[in-house]
Chains A and B, each alone.
Chain A
Amino acid sequence: MHQTAGTRTLRTIAGWLVVGAFFFPIYFWTSVAFRNAKDIFNWPPKFFVFEPTVKNFEQVFGVSLGFGFGTQETVNPGGGNFYMAPRLWDSIVVASMSTVLAIIVATLASYSLSRMNFRGRHEFVNWVLSTRMMPPVAVAIPMFFIFKQFSLLDTYIGVILIHGLMNLPLAVLLLKSFFDDIPAEIDESALLDGASRWTIFRRIVLPMAKGGIAATAVLCFIFSWTEFLFVLTLTQTGLKTVPVVSSTFVTSIGTAWGNMAALGAAAIVPAFIVILLVQRHLVRGLTMGSLKQ
């Protein structure tokens, strides 16, 4: 469509303003991570001008960054211990192990769903899709009692299993769509040459679907990274992931916003970097393989 220079300029400005508005909460949250309490608890609120400090990061990660700027004020609502580095580690372990679990199980299943013709295949795909619809609370309540019986409460294995399972429908449907992209003729000619299904899967299909598998893994990782309800329900003190531990910054005396923002910012930045790496497949991933970009 032809547009005049005027409408182009207007549209450019409108685009920047709209996205700027969406970006503002992220900017503000990150800036809070670099603030002293007096610059957070202020009316009128400070938008852009404040005295920067890395104190919040130092407290959360238990390291001394030693940058000279800002006053070393140690007033903290709650005054408790905000050392959270181990919780970041918990998040990393849970997210990566549950991703490995989901990807292994899902690649096997997706390959057969993409390549083999069998009765009830369509119904099977629908069943997998329907497990995606279960409200987490309807799984978490019985799982709490089942985990209690099997001593899985508050363990890495328990959380890894539940996060892996939570991601299975996404992983299966998304990987199936990536496998569907690889021409079936390749399999067929290899089968005629006497190769087994397993050999074709391992030697031909897996290497060809590398990019798709990586994109699926990234999405599984992020959904585990951001999950809240299962970790809240199925852990006590043994482990806690970042989203759940963030709520512990709210104490009866006040909320340690600076520390919470520091932890939050540290959790968001790596996730954003990995999502940029798979941007090409993002829409396909968000729609569970239903829409291709």
Chain B
Amino acid sequence: MSVAQVKRIAISDSPIPWLLPLVCLLVVFTIYPLIYNVWLSFHEFVPTKRALKFVGMANWVQLWNDTRFWSALGVTFLYFIVALVFEIILGMAIAMLLDAELPGFSVLRATLSMTLVIPPAIAGMMFLLMEDPQFGVLPYLLNTMGLLDKSTPILATSSLALAGVLVAEIWQWTPFMVLIFMAGLRSLPAEPYEAAMIDGASSFQMFRRLTLPMMSKVIAVAVLLRGIDLFRVFDYVFVMTSGGPGTATYTVSLYAWQQTFSFLKWGYGATLSLVSLAMVMIMANVFIKVFKVRW
């Protein structure tokens, strides 16, 4: 390209000079790593030779037969669904509760946004302290209410550990839903509700027939954005349980990270992370198509 041509593009109405820096960064930091990851998934690190060796499909075959991978996938889905259901229902209920001009409610709404600026790793630590079996607040309260035996450590019991992690997750991200739903509620028109009142509709009927349909776009956006983050959960499990006890809280992201950096299975870790990537992409894009979410 000659200098004159470059100049012409730069001053014309072409989007190229505007988008070029973005495209360069996205190619270098997303496309290139993706290709590298695919390449890595056909290789494996050999510690004795300190080098990568081509292994063909071995990593993918191993993945198919790896019970720990399937268990991690199950844990990830369980975490995803439980967190999403709790966050949507609690988020909607609290949004409707706080959507009123009552004493101090503007302060309450601002206070709720506080959980969103806490690093998830630190939120995980907070709940690690509060769930400590020897001096934690949560075991104490549950013990006093007779719901949990004092000798049962929440995060070290297979059947309870995931719930213990989910408490932190739901605590931190329900306010995310509340804030979004509240903005949605405020943008609803008043007329349909007035008409429904005159027709003598119950408040539950109004919620089902008016609020939910009119809020569907808002709910879809919130579910999409939260869902993307839920499927790749890492921080909470990393700091609270490191996947334990046993494999009770291993998620796909954590398993991939540990295979790569703790066990030096570089190729297998890359394979696992690719599976996680593919699943998020497919689920998110299907969701966008089905619910017609548009940016």
Contacts and interface: CB of A to CB of B under 8 A. Distances in A.
Interface of A: 1, 8, 11-12, 14-16, 18-19, 22-23, 25-26, 28-29, 32, 40-45, 47, 104-106, 108-109, 111-113, 116, 118, 121, 124-146, 161-162, 164-165, 168, 172-173, 196-198, 222, 225-229, 232-233, 242-244, 246-247, 255, 257, 260-261, 264, 267-268, 271-272, 275-276, 279, 282-283, 286-291, 293
Nearest to A118: B15
A289 B180 CA distance: 12
Nearest to A162: B29
Which of A32, A173, A267, A283 is most buried by chain B, counting CB atoms within 10 A of its CB? A283
B269 interface: yes
Given A118-B15, A264-B125, A287-B225, A23 B29 contact: no
Contact of A137 (B15, B18, B197, B256): B256
Given A105-B25, A124-B19, A243-B122, 17 more contacts: A12-B102, A16-B108, A19-B98, A19-B112, A104-B21, A116-B14, A131-B26, A133-B281, A135-B253, A138-B37, A145-B266, A173-B295, A264-B118, A268-B117, A282-B113, A282-B179, A290-B293
B183 interface: yes
Interface string B175-200: 11001101110100000010001000
25 contacts: A16-B104, A18-B94, A28-B126, A28-B130, A28-B137, A45-B137, A109-B21, A116-B18, A130-B284, A135-B273, A138-B37, A138-B276, A141-B260, A141-B270, A146-B33, A165-B26, A168-B22, A196-B11, A197-B11, A226-B118, A246-B125, A268-B117, A272-B117, A283-B179, A288-B295
Nearest to A106: B22
Interface in B92-130: 94, 97-98, 100, 102-105, 108, 110-123, 125-127, 129-130
A112 B261 CA distance: 41
A290 B257 CA distance: 32
Contact of A25 (B30, B126, B134, B253): B126
A94 to B, nearest CB: 13
Contacts of A288: 225, 295
A105 B228 contact: no
Interface of B: 11, 13-15, 18-19, 21-22, 25-26, 29-30, 32-34, 36-37, 40, 94, 97-98, 100, 102-105, 108, 110-123, 125-127, 129-130, 134-137, 140, 171, 174-176, 179-180, 182-184, 186, 193, 197, 218, 221-222, 225, 228, 231-232, 234-235, 238-239, 253, 256-257, 260-261, 266, 269-270, 273-274, 276-277, 280-281, 284-285, 293, 295
A196 B7 CA distance: 13
A290 B225 CA distance: 11
A45 B142 CA distance: 13
A116 B97 CA distance: 43
A135 B120 contact: no
B102 A134 contact: no
Contact of A140 (B105, B136, B174, B257): B257
Given A25-B171, A116-B13, A242 B119 contact: yes
B37 A142 contact: yes
A125 to B, nearest CB: 6
